[in-house]
Amino acid sequence: MAYYLQRQGVAYDLFEAGSEVGGNMRTLHKNGYTFELGPNTLQMNEELLQLITELKLETELQPLTPRNNKRYVLHQGKLHAVPSCPKSFLVNDLFSKEDKYRILQERKQPPAEVENETVSDFFERRFGVKQMDYLAAPLISGLYGGDPRQLLVNKAHPELKGLETEYGSVLEGMVQKKKRGVFQRAFSFRNGMSTLPQAIADKLISLHLDHKVEFITRIKGKYIISCAANGDHDNEEYDILVLALPAHQAAELIEFTYPGMSAALQNINYPPMAVVHTVYNRAEVGHPLKGFGALHPWEEQSFTSGSIWTSSLFENRCRPHEVMMTSYVGGARFAGHTQLDERALLEQVHQELRDTYQIKALAPVYQHLHLWPHALPQFDLYIEDAHHMAEVLEQDGLFISANWYAGVSVPDCVSEAKAIATKINTRPSSRSIA
């Protein structure tokens, strides 16, 4: 956001509470391993590509090889490949003949506009129930740790709803987009995700690290920002304010200035999520791990919501004779799993990996846990009020550049940040704050 303001010649100050930039985009290099504590992969979009080019990061890009695009789903304790083309769909044993017939009928289902339709209802309307269980639910929970019975399809997955609106059918839309090569590959950076925020920070002229904003007031049309830095407190005055924070943290700052908005922000759900990296000797893992990873439907009642086969995607994350898997624990339905103490949680993950991947080792070579107490905002009915109010408050010069408004993926956040910077630049006021 600040980067785009700067490029457009808008004066700004960016206050960051931490001593490093990046927020959720955090890479940890430890004991010769590279651990992504937040995002593992990004999907390229137009704005992200342009940003990477401007920052001269093309040589740092680390794309996934096509053979590693295959995804698996756990069904009755065994892994099954998720069909990726019509042929693999027809021979797939995840679905009965009747289910396959019903899925193919999706193309004939007329499009419909249903108010507040949940992801679960959307899939049931278009495909039937079983597909929801084994494809959509893990897809959603894998990404958001979310509950498809609560998430609104037009907010949480506008791209899915968009296929129905634009092509009349999700399947037809996917086929057309594949033909036009619209689907982009996932990628990371050779040295990890932190590469991107760090490269942006290196360009910023008004970044203030270790500056925690404590309070925001509005007096005579100006925003007064109270900041704590190095034991001191500073007050600065601005015309425009950009909140680039998780909803619950933003809520505290504007409690007295915008109590209605603050209450709406407090209502946004952020289930906790633990990210566990586990390393084994390759020789002790029976499964070939050729693919992206496996997602676990809730019906399987497994401890984790799935694992990414990190060392299959990116060779340099562990030693060549080892494999690394990144597992996710918690989310909307299994938040309680994150309450276990660290040892018990790590042991549960290890035992599940042993059972699923035919691992002989009694203990992993290495394990690392990172807990996100408020991982990702849920785009359910509770988020609607905050979105409505955010639109109205733009008239006051208050803008939002955060994942609870833009969409949770990093490319969504980048696209929105660019759009907001342009919006601010076309206003008469000149000073802003992110």
Residues 6+ apart with CB under 8 A from 339: none
- Asked whether position 373 contacts ligand FAD by CB under 6 A, the answer is no
Inter-residue contact 20 to 211 (CB < 8 Å): no
Smaller CB separation from ligand FAD, 24 or 184: 24
Inter-residue contact 313 to 359 (CB < 8 Å): no
Pattern 256-295, ligand FAD, x by CB under 6 A: -----------------x-x--------------------
Please identify which residue in 17, 28, 94, 174 interacts with ligand FAD, judged by CB under 6 A: 17
Please identify which residue in 245, 254, 268, 400 interacts with ligand FAD, judged by CB under 6 A: 245
Distance in angstroms between the alpha carbons of the first and the last residue of the chain: 7
- Other residues' Cβ atoms within 10 Å of the Cβ of residue 166: 13
Q: How would DSSP label each residue in 315-345?
A: GGGS-TTEEEEEEEEETTT-GGGGGS-HHHH
Q: What Cα–Cα distance (Å) separates residue 202 from each residue in 20, 36, 55, 258?
A: 11, 21, 10, 34
Please identify which residue in 95, 280, 372, 399 interacts with ligand FAD, judged by CB under 6 A: 372
Smaller CB separation from ligand FAD, 331 or 364: 331
Alpha-carbon 423 to chain mean position:
25
With contacts defined by CB under 6 A, name the span among 19-27, 48-56, 95-103, 279-287 that binds ligand FAD. 19-27
Q: How far is the CB of 212 from ligand FAD (least distance, A)?
A: 5
Distance CA 332, CA 192 (A): 27
Distance CA 325, CA 256 (A): 45
Please identify which residue in 3, 10, 16, 134 interacts with ligand FAD, judged by CB under 6 A: 16
Please identify which residue in 11, 13, 28, 39 interacts with ligand FAD, judged by CB under 6 A: 39
Please identify which residue in 206, 217, 249, 281 interacts with ligand FAD, judged by CB under 6 A: 249
- Asked whether position 137 contacts ligand FAD by CB under 6 A, the answer is no
Residues 63-82 binding ligand FAD (CB under 6 A) are: none
With contacts defined by CB under 6 A, name the span among 32-40, 117-125, 286-294, 356-364 that binds ligand FAD. 32-40
- Asked whether position 369 contacts ligand FAD by CB under 6 A, the answer is no
- Other residues' Cβ atoms within 10 Å of the Cβ of residue 291: 20
With contacts defined by CB under 6 A, name the span among 9-17, 114-122, 279-287, 356-364 that binds ligand FAD. 9-17
Smaller CB separation from ligand FAD, 5 or 375: 375
Q: How far is the CB of 55 from ligand FAD (least distance, A)?
A: 17
Residue at shortest CB range from ligand FAD = 23
Q: b vs e for 191-209, b when ≥16 Cβ sit within 10 Å of the residue's Cβ?
A: ebbbbbbbbbbeebeebee
Query: Is 313 in a helix, a strand, or coil?
Result: helix
Longest dimension (CA), the chain: 69
Query: Is 193 in a helix, a strand, or coil?
Result: coil
Residues in the chain: 434
Smaller CB separation from ligand FAD, 152 or 413: 413
Alpha-carbon 307 to chain mean position:
15
Inter-residue contact 180 to 404 (CB < 8 Å): no
Q: How far is the CB of 20 from ligand FAD (least distance, A)?
A: 8
Smaller CB separation from ligand FAD, 5 or 376: 376
- Asked whether position 383 contacts ligand FAD by CB under 6 A, the answer is no
Distance CA 93, CA 137 (A): 18
Please identify which residue in 27, 34, 40, 367 interacts with ligand FAD, judged by CB under 6 A: 40
Give me 27's structure tokens.
């890479």
With contacts defined by CB under 6 A, name the span among 33-41, 76-84, 314-322, 358-366 that binds ligand FAD. 33-41
Residues 388-417 binding ligand FAD (CB under 6 A) are: 402-403, 408-410, 413
Smaller CB separation from ligand FAD, 143 or 263: 143
Residue numbers at the binding site for ligand FAD (CB under 6 A): 15-18, 23-25, 38-42, 212-213, 244-246, 249, 273, 275, 372, 375-376, 402-403, 408-410, 413
